[in-house]
Amino acid sequence: MNIFTYQILSLLLLPFAFFRLVLRAFKQRQYFYYWGERFGFYPKYLKNILKDKKIIWIHCVSVGETNAALPLIKILLRQYPNHHILVSHSTPTGRETNLGEFERIHRCYLPFDIKICMNLFIDFFQPSVGLIFETEIWPMMLFQCKRKGVPLLLMNARLSNRSLDKYLLFKDFTSNMLSKFEKICAQSEADRINFKKLTRINIDVTGNTKFDFPISKKKSSLSKALKKELNISNQILLVAGSTRKGEEKVILDCFKNLKIKNLILILVPRHPQRFEEVENLIASKNFPFAKRSNFKKSDQPPSIILGDTMGELRAYYELADLVILGGSIKKFGAQNPIEPLSLGKPTIIGPSIYNFQDVIQKAENHNLIYRLHNLKDLDLLVKKIIALKQKAIKQQNLKDFLRKESGASQRLADIVNQFL
């Protein structure tokens, strides 16, 4: 494949991409908003605000990448007081992720990867540099930025063995795409080795920015409010966070077998468009449950709470006595384990870990997690941890682990400095 073939295929598939977006919008209304931005059209007032301003562009496809970029964004705002930060996204949940109240941060959608749309985006914002988080490799974006002189850096980059196998099917094309980056900053040595199989460009191992969040024993105002709203007092809270399709059934079957007094399961699906599906699954199993979205303060908390609102997962983790990490129960490669770990929460991680293998193995070496290799043992492991009354993992182990792994954001900021 070459860029011309890709361009033709992209144009042919554009109606299907548009139709898919419409279908998503019926499940998640936020997809109805900002349609023009998907095609490279942005509001005039934004052009006026950014007139004659220097712009650092950061692309974060969704929530995980946005949270990962936040420590770096804060450093860049401090080090470059005359620059504005443009954060582009592909999903509504990414766009709605809280980045704080900063006048110099602006949000938008990245347009479809079509030549004319990408040109409109680049010409409108005219960024000084583009920082692409994790593994967002859009060919037309890369080619047009290179042609227009916008240096691109692949930041906090990761490449699992599974993803590598897919890219190797189009090795020449992928190698050509990756050559458009000025530098790749990999999360780990394993990621660097995988990228090296695809490209000869310079690759630094800079670590994972998700480790750069401070440890805090204090609960946030959001978790305190949540605890009050849900009437939680001395109950034991089991939080299953960012669950994927098929995992809720496994967890609910486990919960049915536990029969532990005062145990509450808080189930938080990763994708909002699945809230209704998970609600129907819970109802089909005849569990008393309530949805977070319509929970009344006068209600007593039932045995299961469906977390069907956005932006509250960290608050649930703060309240948790035990966490089950979504994406690891079925073959989804696990979600990011750093957030519950940084809060000191005992965390169960299932057999599928390929997305965060390096982090999870390091955490296991520090005795910070509980690995579940056989799904049939989930209820036994939950009972064991609760019986131990271990409310938090050893703080010294946690501090040593995070201290060793932190600092990636500053290293990335130092690299960005070379291009500004």
Mean pLDDT (10-residue bins), the chain, 420 residues: 87 88 85 92 94 96 91 96 96 89 93 96 98 93 97 96 94 95 96 96 94 72 85 90 96 92 94 94 93 79 91 91 96 92 91 92 90 92 82 73 91 96
pLDDT digits 0-9 by tens, 34-84:
999 999 999 999 999 999 999 999 999 988 899 999 999 999 999 999 999
Instruction: Calculate ∠ Cα 414-418-419, nearest 5°.
Output: 120
Q: Report the distance separating Cα 324 and Cα 263, nearest Å.
A: 14
Supply the pLDDT for residue 152.
98
Give the CA radius of gyration of the chain. Answer: 22
Q: Which two tokens stand for residue 250?
A: 């496994």
Comparing C-alpha atoms, which of 137, 156, 88, 80 is closest to residue 358? 156
Supply the pLDDT for residue 157.
96
Q: Exposure pattern of 326-341 as b/e (b: 16+ CB <10 Å)?
A: bbbbbebbbbbbbbbb
Comparing C-alpha atoms, which of 227, 249, 226, 20 is closest to residue 112? 20
Q: What is the H or E stretch that residue 107 is in?
A: strand 105-109
Supply the pLDDT for residue 299.
66
Cβ atoms of 122 and 146 within 8 Å: the answer is no
Q: Which two tokens stand for residue 173?
A: 């094309």
Supply the pLDDT for residue 166.
94
Q: Which two tokens stand for residue 44?
A: 């005039």
3-state DSSP helix/strand/coil percent for the chain, to nearest 5? 50, 15, 35
Supply the pLDDT for residue 135.
86
Comparing C-alpha atoms, which of 27, 10, 64, 141 is closest to residue 337? 64
From the CB of residue 90, how many other CB atoms can be counted at a distance below 10 Å? 19
pTM: 0.86
Q: Which two tokens stand for residue 137?
A: 């490799």
- In sequence order, what DSSP letters do the residues of 50-92 get, joined into one string? TTT-EEEEEE--SHHHHHHHHHHHHHHHHH-TTEEEEEEESSH
Supply the pLDDT for residue 178.
96
User: Any bridge partners for residue 258, and if so which?
Assistant: none
Residue 3, Cβ density class (10 Å: 0-12 exposed, 13-18 middle, ≥19 buried): middle
Domains in the chain, please, with CATH? Answer: 3-213+407-417 (3.40.50.11720), 221-398 (3.40.50.2000)
Supply the pLDDT for residue 372.
94
Q: Report the distance separating Cα 60 and Cα 413, nearest Å.
A: 16
Residue 357, Cβ density class (10 Å: 0-12 exposed, 13-18 middle, ≥19 buried): middle
Comparing C-alpha atoms, which of 293, 345, 280, 283 is closest to residue 316? 345
Q: Which two tokens stand for residue 249?
A: 């059934």
Supply the pLDDT for residue 298.
59
Supply the pLDDT for residue 390.
59
Residue 411, Cβ density class (10 Å: 0-12 exposed, 13-18 middle, ≥19 buried): middle
What's the sign of the alpha-carbon dihedral 50, 51, 53, 55?
positive
Q: Report the distance separating Cα 114 and Cα 40, nearest Å.
A: 9
Supply the pLDDT for residue 391.
58
Cβ atoms of 255 and 348 within 8 Å: the answer is no
Q: Report the distance separating Cα 236 and Cα 345, nearest Å.
A: 13
